[in-house]
Structure 1
Amino acid sequence: MSENEQVKNEKQGKIRISSENMMPIIKKWLYSDKDIFLREIVANGVDAITKYKKLVEMGEVKPADDSAEEYRIDVRTDEAAKTLTIEDNGIGMTEEEVEKYITQIAFSGAEDFLQKYEKASGDGIIGHFGLGFYSAYMVASDVEIFTKSYKGTPAVHWESDGNATYKIGEAEERGRGTKIVLHIADEEKEFLNEYTIRSLLRKYCSFMPYPVYLNAKGVKEGEKDEKGNEKQADKPVNNTQPLYLKDPKECTDEEYKAFYRDTFSDYNEPLFWIHLNMDYPFRLKGILYFPKVKEQVQLEKGQVKLYCNQVFIADNIKEVIPEFLMLLNGVIDCPDIPLNVSRSFLQNDRQVQKIAKHITKKVADKLTALFKDDRERYENCWKDIATFIKFGCLKDEDFYEKVKDIVIFKNLEGKYVPVTDFFGEEISDEDAEKGKQAKAIYYVSDETQQAQYIRLFKDAGLDAIVCDTYIDPHFISFIEYKNPRKCRFVRIDADVDAALKAEGEVKQDDYKDLIELVKKHLVNKDIAVKADKLKNADVPAVVNVEEFMRRMSEMNKFYGMTEADAMKNATLVLNVANDTVSKLTGLSEEKQEFIVNQIYYLAMLSYKKLSPDELADFMKRSETLLADYAK
């Protein structure tokens, strides 16, 4: 018994459930999510208030004399008494209703809930909905109910320790509504802590439609103390009118930003947002925010909160929200989502699939509109949204089809250009059979490392795109797969393209002695050597790795192969138009060895980082060169 309330005409009864061992089993299933009890009980209070309001609106109940009555839910912690109390001023219950809804339905409902969990075999019930009142025993050793029906019948007290018996009787007179008192178990003392309960209310009840107060002191707005100073009024922990419920036309930018800050505790302004608002063919409201991403590792920090009638369900439910949208921050409220079902059921539910497709379409429409209507802003946001869009294309074909023309890359001039602008004419079946290849799209993966190749391309009047994020290798392979006859991607250092070569064919036999000389002196005996004539005579040599072999090498390296294995596919291309290279054969062996490897290291520096031993050798040779030059 709690709070000194007297009970009369008490009687005992037996709870009709088939299993007396439900509690240990449910605790096993929900061990890591036991805090849902608070959501379930507060949600019951919300339902009770809603039912009463409807009766008043229908004229079946005459409202209280105080027409300004505030519908509310009060939560109170009492560490001394070891109790947590949740109270509402909703419809209340008669003794017969307590017998029916608590003793019979609530406990049988818990049994149904457990059976669904067992059938799910670990698949998981979405949001853990359906446990209801029985969830209180996740943290309480004993639970009491004090309730007074709107019908004016005597107040009722009910109590049970969660086993097969309960006590019920007449309680002291009280106001309309229901008070549930949880006697917190010794091992669950954390749920007596005000900060813990406030955090849980913020998590699960942030947008519930009626004010939820925690340890309210009964101070109203504008109330003053004896000295005339205004007291600090009680404030609800929740926002009963979240922004996503408003008409988008009535929302200001500042309201969107404030809602973002309050909901996600992120004080960086979002780039932009999408307000979802529809009632047919399903009900869906929400706001999706595109956050600023300073580093690529932050991409996993997205959080899309799923609600049902303003009650929190869970974060990032991929069966409802497309996986790539998890990179965003947002709130989605969809009453039409079935809750008391497994994730696998959701995955195959047609209505849920329609909802996911609609969300995807809205995101694609927003991005396309921004690209067309405010290209400058779109380009300014690109660094933050590029990975999201590319990941979305990889994960969702419908999304790719909608945004493929707005995927942009920076070119060598620093301008953003849609990747489709680089596509060539689609090659015919006949040309494909003859071995004709699709147009090459050259790309740079490291602007610093590949600076020499960039210079060669610019000098030749050629362009390339910059693909320097970790997702780009996967994305360009995907683009090739989707457009096999319009494009192929070739890294800028993969080959000496005809456009980079000077006029006239270079026969390898004509430079056989030069090639053998270079092979003889090279510190790297694995690299192939060939001769060619470049338009730019200042460059003595470049390193090429054929695109397909380089991609294979990178994949092998990812799975544990060494850098040396990758370099076996490399070719050192000697530029016979270069004065230094042309003089090599006439020098002493000592000078040949020195210059050959200096040329090699310079070429390698434009391709990749040197190994510690290579770098040490290169530095030593450079120091010798400086000393000789100073003589």
Structure 2
Amino acid sequence: KNNFEVQKNKIQLYSNQVFVTDSVEGIVPEFLTLLHGVLDSPDIPLNVSRSYLQSDSNVKKISSHISKKVSDRLNDIFKESRDDFEKKWDDLKVFIEYGMLSDEKFYDRSKDFFLLKNTESKYFTFEEYEKLIKENQTDKDKNLIFLYTSDIEAQFSFVEEAKSKGYDVLIMDDVLSTPLINQLEQKFSDKKFVRVDSEVVENLIKKDSETKKELTFDQKEELRPVFQAVCPEVTGTTFMVDFQDMGENGNPVVITRSEFMRRMKDMSQIQSGMSFYGEMPDSLNLVVNNAHPLVKRVMDRKDKTLGTALEKFNTELSGIKVEVDKLEKAKEGKKDEEVPQADKEKLDDLNKTVSELEEKKKLKLTDFGKKNKHAKQLVDLALLASGMLKGVDLDKFVKRSIELIR
């Protein structure tokens, strides 16, 4: 695990230039224990225990005074030399983030000079950034959406998709970004942080609903096994296939990760009490764009290849389901003992037949999917864009690409 470990005991406490201790927990603000340095105070007695130090009023004053002096000085630098402050920001950021997370008063004093950095390497205060994105990144529920990437290279295609919509994307890529995001969302009830690969670009910022051409339930149920069949088998990872109209110019297939589950897994890396989430399998969404011409080609090929067989399955299933509905309706309002045993047995037999037919139908569709090179190619393109296509699968993709281009 990539646990965040704080190295302490690097600050030494002196009294009139005489060493007292290097155990400064509770004396120096928590976030400054990351630093190396020396503190010298005439108000601290020499022969004292660590517990005495932590309870002594003078020592407590030192801690709060240091925190205030640090925040005041940072604020002065920010106001007096914004350019210089921005140049130092990437080095200062982790200390300030840690301070905001561990010291409520420091958070209150630092929120006005805390900087957000976007993918264009421009820096903004919270207030400045809100003004920048308010018009274009407010969702239908009046929430202001802060889009971000945790790895601009790995999530490049998602970043570009977001920017093509006119959205701005922040870079939040250090070990404290996830807990900081959680804190900021608690502080700002009308603001949400959404990673660019957590949804297809159309759903990153939900606007008033537009008319979309959605597949029927039956169409989805017939197409799902086709694409499920060509999803990679990765230990500890499951793929959930879904369908959405993303426009004929959108990507044919996109892989997204749930914002909530990914955050919980990120938190499990730095917070031992959340190890449960870290041990859960990854759940990825494979979103198929049913409006894309290449997806329509797969659908058409499915209908031409399996049309007759699927129609036979559907006709037989439809007839049986009519009988099931009649028997279910006859049961309404009756106690279990009032339903004839013959009807119970017939209903069980019919439901069993339905399950068997649906399984046979699914196997037909799965077999078609495994043999369909275009379906596999579309899924592999999505995997490639997400940085998940490697080794043997990448080699097969390259060879298949050459074959399809010929």
Same fold by TM-score greater than 0.5: yes
In structure 2, relative to structure 1, the CA distance for the partners of 1:516 and 1:387 (3 Å cut) is same
Distance in 2 (alpha carbons) for counterparts of 1:606 and 1:563: 24
Specify which of 151, 160, 170 is matched with residue 446 of structure 1: 151
CA shift, 1:460, in A, is 0.3
- Given that 1:457 and 1:500 are in contact with CA atoms closer than 8 Å, whether structure 2 keeps it comes out as no
Deviations 1:246-300 (A, max 9, x none): xxxxxxxxxxxxxxxxxxxxxxxxxxxxxxxxxxxxxxxxxxxxxxxxxx99984
Distance in 2 (alpha carbons) for counterparts of 1:316 and 1:344: 10
Query: Which amino acid letter does the alignment assign opposite residue 289 of structure 2?
Result: N
1:533 is aligned to 2:245 = yes
Specify which of 222, 226, 229 is matched with residue 517 of structure 1: 226
Distance in 2 (alpha carbons) for counterparts of 1:337 and 1:385: 30
CA shift, 1:410, in A, is 1.5
CA shift, 1:491, in A, is 1.3
- Given that 2:229 and 2:370 are in contact with CA atoms closer than 8 Å, whether structure 1 keeps it comes out as no
Specify which of 347, 356, 363 is matched with residue 70 of structure 2: 363
Q: Identity across aligned pairs (percent)?
A: 32
Structure whose residues are more often helix by fraction:
2
The residue aligned with 2:373 is 594
Matches within 5 A, 1:261-340: 300=7, 303-315=10-22, 317-340=24-47
1:410 is aligned to 2:117 = yes
1:495 is aligned to 2:202 = no
Query: Which amino acid letter does the alignment assign opposite residue 392 of structure 2?
Result: A
The residue aligned with 1:616 is 392
CA shift, 1:338, in A, is 3.2
Specify which of 382, 388, 403 is matched with residue 603 of structure 1: 382
Deviations 1:444-486 (A, max 9, x none): 1111111111011010001121111111111111222233x13
Report the aligned-residue RMSD.
3.4
SS at match of 2:19: strand
Distance in 2 (alpha carbons) for counterparts of 1:538 and 1:564: 34
In structure 2, relative to structure 1, the CA distance for the partners of 1:605 and 1:368 (3 Å cut) is farther
Query: Which amino acid letter does the alignment assign opposite residue 315 of structure 1?
Result: D
- Given that 1:532 and 1:573 are in contact with CA atoms closer than 8 Å, whether structure 2 keeps it comes out as yes
In structure 2, relative to structure 1, the CA distance for the partners of 1:536 and 1:387 (3 Å cut) is farther
Specify which of 212, 217, 234 is matched with residue 505 of structure 1: 212
The residue aligned with 1:583 is 297
Deviations 1:169-191 (A, max 9, x none): xxxxxxxxxxxxxxxxxxxxxxx
The residue aligned with 2:94 is 387
Distance in 2 (alpha carbons) for counterparts of 1:346 and 1:535: 66
CA shift, 1:360, in A, is 0.8
1:552 is aligned to 2:284 = no
Query: Which amino acid letter does the alignment assign opposite residue 604 of structure 1?
Result: L
In structure 2, relative to structure 1, the CA distance for the partners of 1:329 and 1:553 (3 Å cut) is closer
Distance in 1 (alpha carbons) for counterparts of 2:378 and 2:68: 54
Structure whose residues are more often strand by fraction:
1
CA shift, 1:385, in A, is 0.8
- Given that 2:226 and 2:369 are in contact with CA atoms closer than 8 Å, whether structure 1 keeps it comes out as no
- Given that 1:533 and 1:577 are in contact with CA atoms closer than 8 Å, whether structure 2 keeps it comes out as yes
SS at match of 1:406: coil
In structure 2, relative to structure 1, the CA distance for the partners of 1:300 and 1:375 (3 Å cut) is farther
- Higher Cα Rg, which structure: 1
Distance in 2 (alpha carbons) for counterparts of 1:564 and 1:299: 24
Deviations 1:527-586 (A, max 9, x none): 22222233582522211222112223445678767999433x321111234332221123
- Given that 2:148 and 2:169 are in contact with CA atoms closer than 8 Å, whether structure 1 keeps it comes out as yes
SS at match of 1:312: strand
SS at match of 1:344: helix
1:373 is aligned to 2:80 = yes
CA shift, 1:622, in A, is 1.7
The residue aligned with 1:462 is 167
SS at match of 2:160: helix
- Given that 2:214 and 2:245 are in contact with CA atoms closer than 8 Å, whether structure 1 keeps it comes out as no
The residue aligned with 2:341 is none
The residue aligned with 1:142 is none
CA shift, 1:436, in A, is 5.2
Unmatched 5+ stretches in structure 2: 132-139, 306-367
> What TM-score does the superposition give when structure 2 sets the normalisation length?
0.69
Distance in 1 (alpha carbons) for counterparts of 2:67 and 2:277: 41
Query: Which amino acid letter does the alignment assign opposite residue 380 of structure 2?
Result: Y
CA shift, 1:423, in A, is 5.2
Distance in 1 (alpha carbons) for counterparts of 2:54 and 2:37: 21
Query: Which amino acid letter does the alignment assign opposite residue 293 of structure 2?
Result: D
Between 1:351-360 and 1:549-558, the stretch displaced more is: 549-558
Deviations 1:276-327 (A, max 9, x none): xxxxxxxxxxxxxxxxxxxx99984883332211222233522322121122
Count residues with an aligned counterpart: 320
Distance in 2 (alpha carbons) for counterparts of 1:358 and 1:302: 20
Query: Which amino acid letter does the alignment assign opposite residue 459 of structure 1?
Result: S
**Which has the higher relative contact order, 1 or 2, with Cα contacts under 8 A spaced 6 or more apart?**
2
Query: Which amino acid letter does the alignment assign opposite residue 618 of structure 1?
Result: L
> What TM-score does the superposition give when structure 1 sets the normalisation length?
0.46
